Amino acid sequence: MFNRGLQPLRPLRHLLIAVVLAALAAPAWAQPASLPRVRLIATGGTISNRMGGRLTAEELIKSIPDVARYARPEFEQFANLPSSALTLAQWLQLARRINEVFREDRDLAGIVVTSGTDTLEETAYFLNLTVRASRPVVVVGSMRNPSTLGYEGAANLLEGIRVAAEPEARGKGVLVVLNDEINSAREVTKTDALRLETFQSRSYGLLGVVDADRVVFYRQPLKRHTADSEFDVSKIAELPRVDVVLVYQDAPGDIITSAVEHGARGIVLAAAGAGATSGTQGQALSDAASKGVFVVTSTRTGSGRVAAFRTAPQPATQAAAGNAAAPRPRGMLRIAAEDLAPVKARILLMLALTQTNDAAEIQRMFTQY
């Protein structure tokens, strides 16, 4: 009698069993439709560099713990290379792809890009200038590879996805997320070759943190970026050559001369202090400027601002030998990098030279970006 009384409950029991089995069979990253969607675009780097073969974008997604609590992740494989192996042409392709995804998918909350850490700050800053959207783009990486004890890549990916899904992350430019910390792509730099806390914004400080309970922001960048940028990669076929030259004691100027002879449109000087040169560099820089090559002065110190030069405007000069197709420059050719690190000043100068050959305009860009 007791068993017969339970028979009407059997269909309900079977339904519950079916629901549980279906949940167990579903992919680990399947989530309710109410959660924001975030796309992972993988480019490679240490975060995927497992012994015996690199992890794919799909494998990276599957490695993320508890991602179902925060977002519905998607993935695509852009490349699977060390960050230093990415070419300028691939940078342009990546920026175009991110712009395309945002343009075609209006409901996507944000994008996470994986990168090797060696040149991560350069890729992130390039995207900060060329992604034309206010939705978050978050660049993540790891200092340890997946075959190493203490691999932090999965945790960084989870935090990157949480930030990309966070509405408050909109409008803050491209963000770099590692080690529970959120930094601006413009300001962040790699400060240690091995330590996990390597990415820092020095005197500017963090934008925010990713804690267990929520994503917290403390400030936001004021320089122009992303949706407010004037750089349109859809109109850029290739980036002009710009080289970085370091100032050191009794440095020869022939390195600068060689760069010009090999087609450099610009030179970024990683100067001592706030602009000092050494050896024969000064004469070489003057010769470069006389041939129409733009010189941007930054500092090798790691922080601090190089003030704009008060130089009288110069008449237009002929383009550099071997670069006769280059437009004739107007105005002064010595440009101050403001507080941009040399490698980031190079990126801004390359993009600036696709837009103008007016030195005053380029100086404006360095002031605004």
Which H or E run includes 115?
none
**What is the rounded radius of gyration, in angstroms, for the C-alpha atoms of the chain?**
25
Instruction: Reduce the DSSP state of residue 64 to 3 states and report it.
Output: coil
Alpha carbons within 13 angstroms on the beta-carbon side of residue 17 total: 6
DSSP string spanning 12-60? HHHHHHHHHHHHHHS-TT---TTSPEEEEEEEESGGG--TTSPPPHHHH
Q: Are 284 and 264 in contact (CB under 8 A)?
A: no
235 burial level (CB within 10 Å; 0-12, 13-18, 19+): exposed
> How many angstroms separate the CA atoms of 127 and 135, rounded?
13
Which H or E run includes 183?
strand 181-184
Buried b (16+ CB within 10 A) or exposed e, 115-130: bbbbbbbbbbbbbbbb
Active-site entry in 43, 46, 119, 189: 46
**With the CA atoms of 17, 21, 24 and 29 taken in that order, what torsion angle do they form, in degrees rounded to the nearest 10?**
-100
> How many angstroms separate the CA atoms of 264 and 257, rounded?
10
250 burial level (CB within 10 Å; 0-12, 13-18, 19+): exposed
Q: Are 353 and 294 in contact (CB under 8 A)?
A: yes
Alpha carbons within 13 angstroms on the beta-carbon side of residue 92 total: 16
Provide the CA 137 distance to its chain's centre, in angstroms. Answer: 9
Q: Is-catalytic flag, 46? A: yes
| Positions marked catalytic | 46
